[in-house]
Amino acid sequence: MVARKSPAANDEKRTTTIRKPHLRGRGPHFPVLDNIVQYEFEPGYVAFTMPSPKRLRVQVGPMIVADTTKALVFQESDHLPVYYFPMSDVREEFLLPSRTTTEDPFKGVATHYSLNTGITLVEDGAWRYLDPVKGCPPIADYISFYWPKMTHWFEEDEEIFVHARDPFRRVDCLPSSRRVQVILDGEQVADSRRGVFLFETGHPVRHYLPISDTRLDMFSPSRYISRCPYKGMSNYYHVTTPKKRHENLVWYYPEPVHEAERIKGLVCFHHELVDKILVDGVEIPKEATAASDGYF
């Protein structure tokens, strides 16, 4: 959540665009999208909530601080989705009002809270909009938690990582016999016809390959670990060519979540950081991502 300058009062007007029912098949079939609300002072910016039927739990240390089946998923332009919990399903005795406040033109002034379970203290671990600005989705009776400050998050009985899962995102893992070649520092470091292509909404295609089809002699284990809400926890390898050592260039999921089971144990190269990837002899254009700047 980033503090922003509040708009003038006369800028709080919003406009509504109604989707045509006969065109619903062209996009996500969610009733909430039939009424897309935009902020007049920033056309194209939208914010809305969707109910989540999942049981969601948030844990601090050994204690569960929120447990609900009535959460909202807050969707907002330029933001990752965020879970908001009804106050009735939150352990309010653990909440300590903080002096910290932040201001957002699309939601209002957020009051922050620390959490003290008697065992664990988390400063500024939650926030709440007690008086949302006009037009903001009705979230006054809800609270949200800073994801990295919590110990664990669960959807039903499965732990999830990084941020709330987006119901508009899809992950497809498809086996492919197309030939995949990876070139790094002028060397061919992978050549396979036994890959799994991973198609994820909003991301470039990733090519997961059997490690036996790579230059394993160039690999060395890394201690780096990353997490993905849609695939699980990944481990990494460094790759050393005659020219250079490339840190954390290759990753794999030893135990992916079940939706991504097909990529278990397969390795994937950062396309952004290798010379090129060829599929059936055709070079795949690189797309700019966070990894382009070295951020994984």
Length of the chain: 296
- The percent of residues in the chain predicted with pLDDT above 90, rounded, is 71
Distance (Å, whole) CA 179 – CA 195? 8
Strands (E) across 80-192 are located at: 82-86, 95-104, 108-116, 121-128, 142-145, 152-155, 158-160, 171-176, 180-184, 187-192
92-111 mean pLDDT: 95
149: which 2 tokens?
Answer: 């400050």
Distance (Å, whole) CA 21 – CA 58? 38
81-88 mean pLDDT: 96
What's at 245, amino acid-wise? R
pLDDT tens profile 211-220: 999 999 999 9
Q: Rounded to two decimals, what is the model's pTM?
A: 0.77
Percentages helix, strand, coil for the chain (3-state, rounded to 5) are: 15, 50, 35
Distance (Å, whole) CA 187 – CA 241? 8
Mean pLDDT, the chain, rounded, equals: 87
Distance (Å, whole) CA 231 – CA 234? 8
- Residue 294 — very low, low, confident or very high, per pLDDT cuts 50/70/90? low
- Residue 78 — very low, low, confident or very high, per pLDDT cuts 50/70/90? confident
All domains in the chain, ordered by first residue = 9-160 (2.170.150.40), 171-293 (2.170.150.40)
What is residue 261's three-state secondary structure?
helix
pLDDT tens profile 27-38: 444 555 555 666
Q: Residue 33 has what pLDDT?
A: 57
DSSP code for 5: P
Q: What are phi and psi of 213, to 5 degrees?
A: -100, 15
Q: What are phi and psi of 263, to 5 degrees?
A: -100, 10
- Residue 1 — very low, low, confident or very high, per pLDDT cuts 50/70/90? very low
Greater confidence (181 vs 258) lies with 181
Q: Taken in order 173, 178, 184, 187, is the CA torsion positive or negative?
A: positive
Count of beta carbons in the 10 Å neighbourhood of residue 53: 8
Using alpha carbons only, give the angle 48, 54, 58 rounded to the nearest 5 degrees: 90
